[in-house]
């Protein structure tokens, strides 16, 4: 028991007072721990910020180009499906797919029995008409001589005026019959030439040098004239592939940038180690109202035959080129909502400076204003803020870290 001014304190009172003091002490300790946890290490211990290791570079002058990359189709420079002009049976077919052909090479022949019969009849009719023409010419010459003799005799009053008129009528009739025979002969000759032309359609020849990409018929097949129906298949398809057309559809925002003569480079997924370069050969000059795109084409030599019609790739067109642009690696430029900026060294401290950017390629940006080649620029923006101390890692190398 504890003595007090009023006497002896009971034991349970002493115990209650000790518990209250213990609880208050625990609360004070807990509050101190919470305050310590809420205080940052920097506030607890004032120490200078550590330097950040980063590359230090200078802007360089390089050629820069603005590009447009578009999905591209590889097409034959010329392609012609060869149809039959006249109906007939395939007598011979001399080529198959993949065969290389030269201009005017005979590819297939057709048998046309009905037309051959018509041609024979026309030939016979021509012989008859030529004989009739010869007869009419002889008759006209005879009647002309008789008329001239009658004129002489009438001058001597040896024949009557009626006899002279008969001679003149005979000569006129002979001339008319000669003219009719000549016209008939001309008609027969024209018909024969028409049949000869149709007979010539029985030979299908290559319109240009190339390869056979498709074949649709075999010997003995009946082919219809291409003009007789819309559902007629060609005999073969010939494609010129020593030169190719690379076609792209340029979206409307990029249409003003693309022009004839712009450099272009083609990459094909199937040929990852090759890049094919050329220039824009032609543009449509008008947009497709359905897709709002404009067709542009590049002519590409294919002498080694490595490119095949129907391939799919990416065509990159240089629409704007600057030969002497001030550039920095993309990693050195911070591009945020407030614009682009870089960190320029002031002693060993990074200072943020706004810049104006222009063209861009895969790993560099053109700097239009804000810095010069004399400025030392931090080569990365990762972990850098205005006032950060920089420990140089690389100098005078315009390389991203």
Please write the tens of the pLDDT for every residue from 241-281.
Answer: 999 999 999 999 999 999 999 999 999 999 999 999 999 99
What pLDDT, on the 0 to 100 scale, is given for residue 142?
Answer: 92
Give, rounded to a whole angstrom, the gap between the first and last alpha carbons of the chain: 78
Q: pLDDT, tens digit, for every residue of 323-351? A: 889 999 999 999 888 899 999 999 999 99
Q: Which residues contact 210 (CB under 8 A, 6 or more apart)?
A: 76, 78, 100, 101, 238, 239, 240, 241, 242
Percent helix, percent strand, percent coil in the chain, to nearest 5: 30, 40, 30
Q: Residue 159: count other Cβ atoms within 10 Å of its Cβ.
A: 17
Question: What is the pLDDT, as a whole number, of residue 225?
Answer: 86
Q: What is the dihedral of CA 360, 364, 367, 368, to 10 degrees?
A: -30
pLDDT digits 0-9 by tens, 74-110: 999 999 999 998 889 999 999 999 999 999 999 999 9
pLDDT at position 10, please?
47
CATH architecture label of 84-109+203-234: Beta Barrel (2.40)
Residue 295, pLDDT > 90, answer: yes
Q: May I ask the CATH class of domain 52-63+323-392?
A: mainly beta
**Helix (H/G/I), strand (E/B), else coil: 53:** strand
Does residue 260 contact residue 285 with C-beta atoms inside 8 Å?
no
pTM over 0.85: no
Distance, CA of 181 to CA of 188 (rounded, Å) = 11
- Of the candidate ranges 35-44, 159-168, 190-199, 297-306, the one whose mean pLDDT is the lowest: 35-44
pLDDT at 372 over 50: yes
Give the pLDDT of residue 378: 92
| 71 or 12: which leads in pLDDT | 71
Q: What is the pLDDT of residues 170-194, one digit of tens each?
A: 999 999 999 999 999 999 999 999 8
What percent of the chain clears pLDDT 70, i.e. is strictly above it?
85
What confidence tens digit (pLDDT) does each residue in 220-236 have?
Answer: 999 988 876 667 889 99
Range in 19-23, 118-122, 236-240 the model is least confident about:
19-23
- CATH hierarchy code of domain 71-75+240-322: 2.40.30.170
What pLDDT does residue 16 have? 47
Give the tens place of pLDDT for each residue, 131-158: 999 999 999 999 999 999 999 988 888 8
- The closest of 101, 100, 79, 109 to 206, measured between CA atoms, is 101
216 neighbors 236 (Cβ within 8 angstroms): yes
pLDDT band for position 238 (cuts 50, 70, 90):
very high
């Amino acid at each position: 028991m504890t003595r007090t001014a009023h006497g002896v304190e009971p034991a349970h009172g002493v115990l209650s007072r000790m518990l209250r003091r213990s609880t208050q002490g625990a609360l004070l300790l807990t509050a101190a721990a919470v305050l310590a946890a809420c205080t940052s290490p920097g506030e607890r211990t004032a120490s200078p910020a550590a330097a950040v290791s980063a590359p230090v570079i200078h802007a360089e002058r390089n050629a820069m180009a603005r590009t447009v990359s578009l999905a591209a189709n590889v097409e034959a420079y010329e392609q012609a499906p060869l149809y039959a002009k006249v109906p007939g049976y395939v007598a011979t077919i001399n080529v198959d797919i993949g065969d290389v052909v030269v201009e005017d090479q005979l590819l297939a022949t057709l048998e046309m029995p009905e037309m051959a019969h018509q041609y024979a009849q026309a030939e016979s009719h021509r012989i008859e008409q030529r004989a009739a023409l010869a007869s009419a010419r002889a008759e006209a010459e005879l009647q002309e001589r008789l008329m001239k003799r009658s004129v002489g005799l009438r001058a001597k009053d040896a024949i009557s005026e009626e006899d002279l008129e008969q001679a003149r009528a005979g000569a006129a009739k002979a001339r008319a019959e000669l003219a009719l025979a000549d016209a008939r002969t001309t008609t027969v000759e024209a018909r024969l030439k028409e049949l000869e032309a149709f007979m010539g359609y029985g030979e299908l020849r290559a319109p240009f040098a190339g390869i056979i990409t498709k074949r649709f018929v075999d010997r003995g097949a009946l082919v219809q004239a291409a003009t007789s129906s819309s559902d007629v298949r060609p005999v073969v398809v010939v494609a010129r592939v020593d030169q190719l057309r690379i076609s792209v559809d340029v979206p409307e925002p990029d249409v003003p940038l693309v022009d004839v003569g712009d450099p272009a480079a083609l990459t094909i997924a199937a040929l990852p180690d090759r890049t094919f370069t050329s220039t824009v050969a032609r543009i449509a000059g008008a947009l497709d109202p359905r897709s709002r795109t404009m067709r542009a084409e590049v002519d590409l030599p294919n002498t080694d035959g490595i490119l095949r019609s129907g391939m799919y790739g990416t065509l990159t067109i240089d629409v704007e080129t600057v030969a002497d642009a001030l550039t920095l690696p993309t990693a050195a430029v911070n591009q945020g909502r407030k614009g682009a900026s870089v960190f320029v060294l002031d002693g060993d401290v990074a200072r943020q400076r706004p810049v104006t950017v222009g063209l861009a390629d895969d790993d560099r940006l053109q700097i239009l204003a804000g810095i010069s080649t004399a400025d030392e620029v931090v080569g990365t923006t990762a972990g850098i803020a205005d006032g950060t101390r920089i420990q140089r890692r690389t100098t005078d190398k315009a390389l991203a870290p």
